Amino acid sequence: MVRLRGIRAQGRHGASPGETERPQEFLIDLEVAVEVEGDRLAGTADYRELARAARGAVEGDPVVLLETLAERVAAAVSGVERVLEVRATVHKPRAASSVDAEDVSATATWSAAT
């Protein structure tokens, strides 16, 4: 299992007009099961590609629900070569402060087995 924590991305997601007008920061945590073939970089998933896929999903077209965004991230990361399973958690720091909470996040899982 490969873990990447705190991938930063800017997006315009949310239910209120202010959230879709101005970019806000999102943080992404990934847990990715990867196929490994030998002890060589070409034999596994590239961490940079995993982060790039996650960031691209957040920087794409706006969605209303954080849950939808987490599903989009998991699907995007699943497209990276040698990925077998993805657990993607998307954190929305600005939403947390608006409800006096430490964190607001949504998690989605994708698996090649399903």
Residue 62 in tokens: 């706006």
CA distances from 104 to 38, 49, 53, 67, 96 (A): 39, 26, 22, 11, 5
State residue 19 phi and psi, 5-degree precision. -70, -30
Active site residue 92: yes
What span, in angstroms and rounded, lies between the C-alpha atoms of 104 and 89? Answer: 10
State the catalytic residue, choosing from 26, 92, 108, 110. 92
Active-site residues: which are they?
A: 92
